[in-house]
């Protein structure tokens, strides 16, 4: 089965997962920024990964715009964010990004990534600084919010190679 791993990554966590997946699946690897949807015809399986930003998956448009081209193929999307992979979070992200019809065609996976403020572009830094201020002045913080505030001072990397296993099994058709 010829497989493509496609990704969009702002701070490197998604790219790391994409590289691990491409290696494990013996797949082609491409940044979605430079990939033409016409090339989907060359593949039997397509994996897309994007970072999670306010519940939206960065770069997902390339998959959504090409769902007709992807019919009949094994398609998986993974999102990576700093939050732990709690079931309610995964459901929320999946439902926010995909309609019920799209969910029938695309398998969704969540892999915990990390947070590195220093790797963000200026626009993203401004947005994250606003979040930081909001969190700092919040009286009662959740454990995740306290952890997020700590990550501004020290980058956090929660990527683990074993996190790719469920997606690899899906692509290989192992249930």
**What does the pLDDT look like over 29-70, one tens digit per residue?**
999 999 998 899 999 999 999 998 878 999 999 999 999 999
pLDDT computed for residue 121 by the predictor: 83
Helix (H) or strand (E) holding 125: helix 122-136
Instruction: Spell out the residues 6+ positions from residue 112 whose beta carbon is closer than 8 angstroms to its own.
Output: 80, 81, 82, 83, 84, 85, 158, 159, 160, 163
pLDDT computed for residue 17 by the predictor: 98
Helices (H) and strands (E) in the chain, counts: 8, 8
Query: Region 3-32: what's the mean pLDDT?
Result: 96
pLDDT computed for residue 55 by the predictor: 80
Which carries the bigger pLDDT value, residue 104 or residue 123? 104
- φ, ψ of residue 132 in degrees (nearest 5): -60, -45
List C-alpha distances in Å: 175 to 45, 70, 107, 172.
16, 21, 13, 9
Dist CA 42 CA 21 (whole Å) = 18
pLDDT mean across residues, the chain: 92
pLDDT computed for residue 175 by the predictor: 59
Percent of the residues in the chain that have a pLDDT greater than 90, as a whole number: 66
pLDDT computed for residue 119 by the predictor: 85
Q: Per residue in 115-156, pLDDT tens? A: 888 888 898 888 888 888 888 899 999 888 888 888 888 888
pLDDT computed for residue 125 by the predictor: 84
| Residue 86 CB neighbours (<10 A) | 11
């Amino acid at each position: 089965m010829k497989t493509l791993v496609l990704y969009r990554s702002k701070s490197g966590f998604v790219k790391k997962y994409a590289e691990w997946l491409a290696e494990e699946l013996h797949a082609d690897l491409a940044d979605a920024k430079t990939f033409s949807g016409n090339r989907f015809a060359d593949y039997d399986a397509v994996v897309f990964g994007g970072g999670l930003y306010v519940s939206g998956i960065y770069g997902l448009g390339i998959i959504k715009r090409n769902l007709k081209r992807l019919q009949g193929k094994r398609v998986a999307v993974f999102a990576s964010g700093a939050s732990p992979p709690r079931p309610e979070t995964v459901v929320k992200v999946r439902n926010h990004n995909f309609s019920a019809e799209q969910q029938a065609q695309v398998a969704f996976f969540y892999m915990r990534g990390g947070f590195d403020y220093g790797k963000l572009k200026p626009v993203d830094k401004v947005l994250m600084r606003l979040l930081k201020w909001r969190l700092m002045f919040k009286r009662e913080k959740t454990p995740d919010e306290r952890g997020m505030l700590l990550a501004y001072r020290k980058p956090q990397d929660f990527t683990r190679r074993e996190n790719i296993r469920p997606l690899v099994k899906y692509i290989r058709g192992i249930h």
